[in-house]
A and B are shown apart, each in its own frame.
Chain A
Amino acid sequence: MPVAWATLKRNWLVMQRAYPWTYFIGTLAPGVFTVVLALLSYEAIGGGRVSDWFRGASGTPDYLGYVTVGAAALMFTTRMVLWVAKAQITEQREGTLESQLLTPARRLPYLLGVSLQAFLTSLLELTCLFGTALLLGVRLPAPDPVTLAAGVLAALVAVVGLSIPVSAIMIAAGEAHITQNTLFCLIGLVCGFTFPPALLPAPLTWLGELLPATSALRVLRAASLHAAPLGEVAADLLLCLGLGVAYAAVGLLFLPHAERRAVIRGASA
């Protein structure tokens, strides 16, 4: 996979040179603030207790653990989407999209290279988030390592898969902010990152089930909060992988059309 490896190396170099370390304070802030706010409201408003409804809907009485895993998953999802989905529109803005498209390299290894760099960067950011949560007094039980590893892998497939059609939309539309913020609002609302989706009206929960982040999150919570064995989360794992692969396939199908549209827009501008 020389293209994936070369793209990983290129992106890593660019990230080191383009972004000062202070940039990552901004990327960590939403996740940290989510945990801090949850902690404050849990202690100040809930008095350190959760309702029976929450326990039933979320499957755990550990509200802080629930929110911490959700905040980490949300940060992982948004950061991965920002790197992977915006990769090609960033190329377009930098003036390198056409030199990419001129090459015989396929899009999938290119996107995998971007994804690997994004994954490594996100792991560093997640380490910082969990470290901060630990300092704030949040304690997570020991996870089931196999289920957790499978959950992380499934989450990676899910968000990369989701990012590919989003990338196609971005370069076809020639804009990133409206697309990414609409997606982030949607997944923040329906995927159950910080509250049980059972709070939502039924159509929104169905919509959430169509996004692979929802099932990925269930697997990650089961692994980290309940130490669930792999067999217990197999259905959600398969659903997550299936949706991720389906989104990726649709994205890869439409990406060449979107790229040509971007070239036409550039040519006729």
Chain B
Amino acid sequence: MTRAIVTHDLVKVYPRRDRPWWRPAGKRPPAAPAVDGLSLTIPAGQVTGLLGLNGAGKTTTIRMLSTLLRPTTGSATVDGLDLVRDAREIRRRINMIAGGERMVYARLTARENLWYFGQLYDVPRARLTARIDELLALVGLSHAADQRVEQFSKGMRQRLSIARGLINEPSYLLLDEPTLGLDAPIARDLRAVVAELARGGVGVLLTSHYLAEVEQLCAEVHVIAAGRLVARGTPAELTALTERQHTVEITLAAAGASADQAVQALAARTGAQVTADTDEQLRPRYVLRHRHDLAGDLATTVVAAGGAIVRLEVTPPTLEDAILALADGARQPEAVAA
């Protein structure tokens, strides 16, 4: 048996909350599924990314895989164990860390929190004390071990939440925006920990809005939109798909027919989308969108045609752009072959 989390046609539809329970549903359409036929494989020993815009179904997917929610239809297994039938056994093997969530007890100290969760996970007493010290050191909270969480900063709470998520030495770790709100050095340390865990055989599912984080950690990325898988591949493959989103905006000192013709010719030759208008000072402005960065070609072309550039701005593709582009490509499923 391959060690992995495997989902088949996972669907989650939340019940509608816009009518009292005693009133019949009538002819209202059913709620749209939050997750719609999602099939994924999250292998052990690898970080797998799950990307999508807000509302794409990432958190719902993670909540299902962590057994907090039951799928409406479809199935999922963790190392061959059924997500619904074997939920208690699965909970021993997984854990979840959600950025921005509290998930720890404010009135307890960091050490007391980890001790309590260690008891809930039935961590052997002989192992627990050492494990707590290891985790506090790992997340940089050794100095605050006996301080109450209510006195912690937001970042310290998040670090404790990360330690909580590791207390049971999970085989699979579900990370939902884990670095949200963390200072850069702590976020970097956490990424190092995640990479180390994966090298040690832990399967990690990561959702994040930080593209650099995903590129750094993930061997494979799944992009979902409206609950459906729209693309999957390595970060490099997905980036290649979205290169057309480079945007170059150029503003010229004065209008001129030759410069205009040169820009249009460049767009026609490269296949770039071009829009032309004027800025607030009525100077001609062109915006070119292409999968490659055309800034150099455009500047050369304009100057050669006698144009004078007053402003040139290049907007590289952001994660938001990438996901938008892939969501647009949802009409062509499996945009990247795995």
Contact = CB atoms under 8 A, between A and B. Distances in A.
Contacts of B107: 13-14, 17-18
Contact of B91 (A9, A103, A263, A268): A103
Nearest to A91: B105
Interface in A54-91: none
Interface string B72-97: 00000000000000001101101110
B102 A105 contact: no
B39 interface: no
A246 interface: no
Contact of B120 (A17, A18, A103, A260): A103
Contacts of A17: 107, 148
A104 B91 contact: yes
B92 A101 contact: no
Interface string B100-118: 0111111110001001110
A103 B68 contact: no
A96 B105 contact: yes
B121 A99 contact: no
Given A104-B89, A268-B17, A99 B119 contact: no
Interface residues of B, number: 38
A105 B104 CA distance: 16
Contacts, number: 86
A227 interface: no
Nearest to B69: A263
B63 interface: yes
Contact of B112 (A10, A101, A104, A265): A10
Contacts of A10: 105, 108, 112, 116
A104 B92 contact: yes
Contacts of A101: 67-68
B105 A263 contact: no
A14 B108 contact: yes
A5 B122 CA distance: 12
B14 interface: yes
Given A17-B148, A104-B89, A94 B106 contact: yes
A14 B63 contact: no
B103 A263 contact: no
A94 B102 contact: yes
Interface string B128-153: 00000000000000000000100000
Interface of B: 14-15, 17, 59-60, 63, 66-70, 88-89, 91-92, 94-96, 98, 101-108, 112, 115-117, 119-122, 148, 164, 168
